Amino acid sequence: MGTENRGKVLIVTGGSNGIGAATARLAASRGYSVCINYRQRKIDAEGVAGEIERQGGHAIIVQADVSVEAEVVKLFETTDAKLGRVFALVNNAGTLERQMRLDSMEAARIQRVFATNVIGSFLCAREAVRRMSTKKGGSGGSIVNISSGASRLGSPGEYIDYAASKGAVDTLTIGLAKEVAEEGIRVNGVRPGFIYTDLHAKGGEPGRVDRLKVQVPMQRGGEPEEVAAAILWLLSSEASYVTGAIVDVGGGR
């Protein structure tokens, strides 16, 4: 385990699988104490935490639905009590629903997507800023918001509601970065492209990455670990003069 981040506390929302789990593992290997947030997948979260502990790291799991304000507050308060004041946040929790055109969507679906992807990101960022800001007694910190290449491409015929929600995450990243730049907090974003995670199965097409990888200049889908590497760089001191940036991790697309 690395020591360069020893004692620093990281919260990863949606950390039980995919990009979130890869981020938690990599962060722990570099010395972070990691809070793995999950909504339903407790066994998966326990598996990630157990793997980290077996390799000499430190991790806890905390259940919370990020779209619910009281549960987000509980997530951060639990982390305060068990690990200490948060230094880094990865706003990774996200959802989408089955592929369809806008003219087939109901309002309830759109509200569910925006509740998790937009409101959840805002609430978690708010709690992080309250703890990190030097104006509020904090010692600074770093936030990375996980967007999607869909925010640029629109996902027509599949899930433009998801794409629009990630466009909001991009705007949150840019605005918040400027808002807290003088308070010791850096805010950046990562836009993954076609990555092998089970999010595609939730949208109704488990093999979506393999179908679409021919559109990628590198002619392949990405792995969660490749996205995690970009996230950890943005969190690190190597990115000390980087804020308000959105890094595309999409094989050139």
**pLDDT: which is higher, 211 or 107:** 107
Mean pLDDT is lowest, of 83-92, 124-133, 199-208, 235-244, for 199-208
Alpha carbon dihedral 15, 17, 20, 21, in 10-degree steps, equals 90
Range from 26-40, 70-84, 156-170, 191-205 carrying the lowest mean pLDDT: 191-205
Provide the annotated active-site residues: 162
* Statement: residue 3 has pLDDT above 70: no
Structure tokens at 55: 């390799």
Find tokens 């967007």 and name the residue. 147
Which residue has 């987000």 as its token pair? Answer: 72
Model confidence pTM above 0.75: yes
Please report the pLDDT score of residue 194 as a whole number: 92
pLDDT (tens digit, 9 = 90+) per residue, 125-146? 999 999 999 999 999 999 999 9
pLDDT value for 220: 94
- Indicate whether 228 pLDDT > 70: yes
Measured CA to CA, the distance from residue 75 to residue 187 in angstroms comes to: 20
Q: Which two tokens stand for residue 86?
A: 């948060």
C-alpha–C-alpha distance, residues 180 and 196, integer Å: 34
Higher pLDDT, 1 or 242: 242
End-to-end CA distance of the chain: 34
Query: Mean pLDDT throughout 23-37?
Result: 98
In the block, tokens 């190597």 appear at 238
CATH architecture of 9-249: 3-Layer(aba) Sandwich (3.40)
